Chain A
Amino acid sequence: MLDDPPARLIEDEVRKARGAGQTSAFAEKVAENALGIARRERELGPILAAEERARLGELLGGEDDLPTLNWALATALREGTLDLHDDAVTDHLIRTAIAKLQVDQPTYPGFRALCD
């Protein structure tokens, strides 16, 4: 599940900052970076969420929505009802971590190193 703040709030904040006459080169670089996250979230978010939802449905069972299933996974890991060494759990966590980074920071050097 993608983290807060969602694309809409990121875009609002950039609009406000630019409207307030923010001009420094550093601030503009950060704004571009933020808009990139929002853009990728709009492009990739729905398909990645559907894939995550499908994996969780298989892992935990049930027809709940993604936030509910994600909560159930976090709770099961916290309470120890899922095994840390369960291959399917680890598989899901890795796939989800990769999916999130594709939206948030596809240029993260540790991620790029793995892709090459």
Chain B
Amino acid sequence: MADTASPPPPAALGSAGVAPVDGLALLQAARDSGMAALAVENLARLGGGASKDMWRFDLVLERGERRALVLRRQPPGRPRSTQGLPSVAAEAALVRLADAAGVPVPQVAFELPESSPAGDGYAMEQVAGETVGSRVLRLPELAAARAGLARTCGEVLARLHGVKGHEALGLRSQGPVEALDALEARHRQTGQDRPVFEYALRWLRSAMPNEATRVLLHGDFRTGNLVVGPKGLVAVLDWELAHVGPPEYDLAWLCVPSWRFQRPDLPVGGFGAREDLLAGYEAAGGTPVDPGALHWWEVFQTMNWGVMCAGAAKAFMDGARSVEGAVIARRASETEFDLMRMLAADHPAWETVHAG
């Protein structure tokens, strides 16, 4: 991920809590993949999540040529999360499949071999654009990009969902029944009494959609994981939650109210209309989507984000304390609000907002 609008923090090589990248092992991996690489320079941390980090670096090639690359990796010795792919390096194979299908992705440069001292991961080309959701929705220079973005997202998802040959990746496969069971189990694991989640679960059970087809899913396709430039969608990032399931899973996740930021009036990621998303999806060969099924999945996905926030509360109370964790925990209430808006929009109790 490259973010031209906000420069990344200065190099944090070896600073507290961050395992440095073994630059020589990185260089070796580039050479083993057949690149005529002479050196790794300007290695600097870009940030990253709880389990993975991102580093930018220049790969110096023969004749003074340089390639600006980004390493996405998990430091050596860190256990994998159980939700996603078997390794970060395995993500590269998936990204190549998506690339071949015409999904905009950062091109994979090379993978780290198994048990590399540099960790588990892969290097990709640096892409220029904006990812931070609130800026994607606000920057004036992205106005034209925003106007076509919902349709583009539909087209891109249709291409991804049409990918064949993903079976070799061994991704988990879930239809609506398994997905709902898993969501309920994750909610139970938080140990929290949440009447709104129980209400939503009852509604979801009473309105199960028919399952038509299962396709390759990105699994986290939303504002924040989309790199947007003045000309439109530049790349789709963060493939670690990819799995197989109903197409509406991806389409609905993009419509969760929490990623609309300052534009609650634009249901698709805060930048577009559902009609545009679905028109792009069908124009690019996607199976026509039943609006009722999409609504079911939007309710499901809103609760899904809510359970993630509730999980942050449990993690905090179990001792993994951080200020950011506390703030995310206290966002579970926004999903309770959104769930009630979705399931009981016409109830007179909403009038109390005006009265209050």
B350–A5 touching, CB < 8 Å: no
In the assembled complex, which residues on chain A have CB atoms less than 8 Å from the CB atom of B260? Answer: 109-110
Which residues from B are CB-within-8-Å of A9?
316, 321, 326
In whole angstroms, what is the CA distance A4 to B310 when docked? 9
- B336–A97 contact, CB under 8 A? yes
Contacts of A94 in B (CB 8 A): 340, 344, 347, 349-350, 352
Which of B196, B331, B341 interacts with A104 by CB under 8 Å? Answer: B331
In the complex, the answer to whether B333 meets A3 with C-beta atoms within 8 Å is: yes
CB proximity of B184 to chain A, nearest CB, Å: 10
Q: Which of A28-68 contact B (CB under 8 A)?
A: 30-31, 33-34, 37, 67
Tell me the number of A-to-B contacts counted with CB atoms below 8 Å: 146
- Which residues from B are CB-within-8-Å of A31? 323
| Given A5-B313, A37-B330, A78-B198: A101 touches B337 (CB 8 Å cut-off) | yes
Are A5 and B349 within 8 A (Cβ)? no
CA gap between A6 and B331 in the complex, in Å: 13
B175-210 Cβ-contact flags toward A at 8 Å (1 or 0)? 000000000000000001111101101110010000
Q: Which of A4, A75, A101, A109 is packed against the most chain B CB atoms within 10 Å?
A: A4
Docked complex Cα distance between A1 and B9 (Å): 39
User: Does B169 lie at the interface of the complex (its beta carbon under 8 Å from any beta carbon of A)?
Assistant: no
Residues of B within 8 A of A91 (CB): 347-349
B257 nearest CB neighbor, chain A only: A110
Instruction: For the complex, give the distance between the alpha carbons of A63 and B276 in Å.
Output: 52
Task: List, in ascending order, chain B residues with CB within 8 A of A84's CB.
Answer: 199, 202-203, 206
A110 pairs with B347, CB closer than 8 A: no
Q: Taking the nearest CB of chain B, how far is it from the CB of A6, in angstroms? A: 9
Contact present for A90 and B264 (CB under 8 Å): no
Q: Are B263 and A70 in contact (CB under 8 A)?
A: no
Residue contact A74 to B198, C-beta cutoff 8 Å: yes
Mask: chain A, 105-116; 1 = CB below 8 Å from B; 0 = not: 100111101110
12 additional A-B pairs beyond A87-B347, A92-B195, beta carbons within 8 Å, are A3-B329, A4-B313, A30-B323, A34-B327, A89-B199, A97-B339, A98-B356, A102-B356, A109-B262, A110-B264, A110-B334, A111-B334
8 A-B pairs with least C-beta separation: A77-B198, A100-B333, A94-B349, A74-B193, A110-B264, A97-B337, A104-B330, A104-B333
Q: Give 11 pairs: A residue, B residue, CB < 8 Å, sorted on A.
A: A3-B313, A5-B313, A5-B317, A13-B322, A17-B322, A75-B193, A90-B344, A91-B349, A100-B333, A101-B334, A105-B334
